[in-house]
Amino acid sequence: MKLFQTKYLSADTAGLAQAADLLRQGQLVAFPTETVYGLGGDARNGEAVAAIYEAKGRPSFNPLIAHVASVEAAQRFVEWSDQAQSLADAFWPGPLTLVLPLRPGHGVSSLVTAGLDTLAVRVPAHPIARSLLEVVDGPVAAPSANPSGQISPTTADHVQSGLDGRIAAILDAGPCGVGLESTIVGLAGEPSLLRPGGVALEEVEHALDTRLHIHQSGDLLTAPGQLQSHYAPNAPVRLNAEAGVGDEVVLGFGPVDCTLNLSQSSDLVEAAANLFAMLHDLDKSHRPIAVSPIPDHGLGAAINDRLRRAAAPKT
Ligand code: TXA
Ligand code: MG
């Protein structure tokens, strides 16, 4: 875990400029949205996204929401649709997140989507969030700015008490208006409510003129980590391998002889950033995959969780 002198930035032009600079440099900045404070990182920078998981101490890679400044910005990353337009007309900017198919060439780190082929996008309404996103001019991945398992922060002080020393800066604009996370609607298949939140289900159904499929918590889509097939390569995966045998390609960690290396310098943040993309690449060889032992602390626990799923017998 890296340690930072967490800066307190005020929500004025100078503070916004500093926050945007830090984000562009791959640093983490907590910023206000109308729902909760988000822990922002550049969604196109895998190491920045990995650092989000590390700062939160998240045990697993849940997919994150990409925050953008406008509908036009969202359309650069996802396949837009009439239903998406209806909901954006009704609720954006605001506490609604849309899950849509990724567009080819989207450039978003696979750690944001946790390897799914959809992306959650949201245009927040908070004026400071909007200004920040306009200045950054790129997608900002942001889960709630709290350590994993703790209550979501609705003030800069909440953020500070949870994450002080773990992130570069906190942009302080007072308490959040909504204080409850955004409603998440899935539009990649039949319209579904993936998470209740700041916009009521009835309002969403009214805007779409249709009933939503309701996902129960524990459903596969709301907990993509349970969808083994999303993480499992086609080839067999062998864990804790000291070396490759026979036909195997080797996904290495640290100073080892291998086909692709998650992190030559044994850096778990770098390894997390590389994980999904490297598994994809190795799977293209259609050969069995052997994976080096990965330490089980910090992000290593999440990496090992995903690797165990990848190695689990296919059902
Ligand atoms: O109000 C909010 O939404 C706040 C503020 C900061 O914007 N953010 C937030 O993020 O609540 P987080 O990471 O705590 O919640 C994101 C949720 C997770 O439950 C995740 O499973 C779901 O969004 N999600 C993200 N991408 C998804 C996808 N492609 N498919 C299905 N669910 C997705
Ligand atoms: Mg949260």
- Give the ligand at the shortest distance from the Cα of 113: 1
* Model pLDDT, residue 216: 54
Q: Is ligand 1 within 6 A of the CB of residue 33?
A: yes
Distance CA 147, CA 151 (A): 8
Dist. CA 143 → ligand 1 center (Å): 6
The structural domains of the chain, ordered by start, are: 7-214 (3.90.870.10), 237-311 (3.40.50.11030)
Residue closest via CA to ligand 1's atom 17 equals 64
Measured CA to CA, the distance from residue 28 to residue 5 in angstroms comes to: 12
DSSP secondary structure string for all residues of 87-137: HHHHH-SSSEEEEEEBPTT----TTTTTT-SEEEEE----HHHHHHHHHHT
pLDDT in tens, the chain (315 residues): 667 899 999 999 999 999 999 999 999 999 999 989 999 999 999 999 999 999 998 766 789 999 999 999 999 999 999 999 999 999 999 999 999 999 999 999 999 998 899 999 999 999 999 999 999 999 999 999 988 867 778 889 889 989 999 999 999 999 888 777 898 999 999 999 898 888 888 899 999 999 999 865 444 444 443 444 345 677 899 999 999 999 999 999 999 999 999 999 999 888 877 787 788 789 889 999 999 999 988 778 768 877 887 888 765
Q: Residue 287 C-alpha to ligand 2 middle, in angstroms?
A: 38
153 lines ligand 1 (CB under 6 A): no
Residue type, 46: G
- Closest ligand, as measured to the CA of 101: 1
Indicate whether residue 97 lines ligand 1 (CB < 6 A): yes
Distance from residue 236's CA to the centre of ligand 1 (Å)? 31
This prediction has a pTM of 0.82
| CB of 148 closer than 6 angstroms to any ligand 1 atom | no
Residue 80 near residue 89 (C-beta atoms within 8 A) = no
The torsion of the CA quartet 201, 74, 299, 217, rounded to 10 degrees, works out to 20
Strand partners, 102: 78
Among 111, 117, 181, 216, the mutation site with the greatest number of ligand 1 atoms within 8 A of its Cβ is 181
Q: What is the pLDDT of residue 222?
A: 41
User: Considering only CA atoms, which of 10, 29, 34 is closest in space to residue 19?
Assistant: 29
Please give the structure tokens belonging to residue 259.
Answer: 């086909």
User: What SS3 state is found at 185?
Assistant: strand
Read off the tokens for 151: 């209550």
CA–CA separation, 52 vs 54, rounded Å? 5
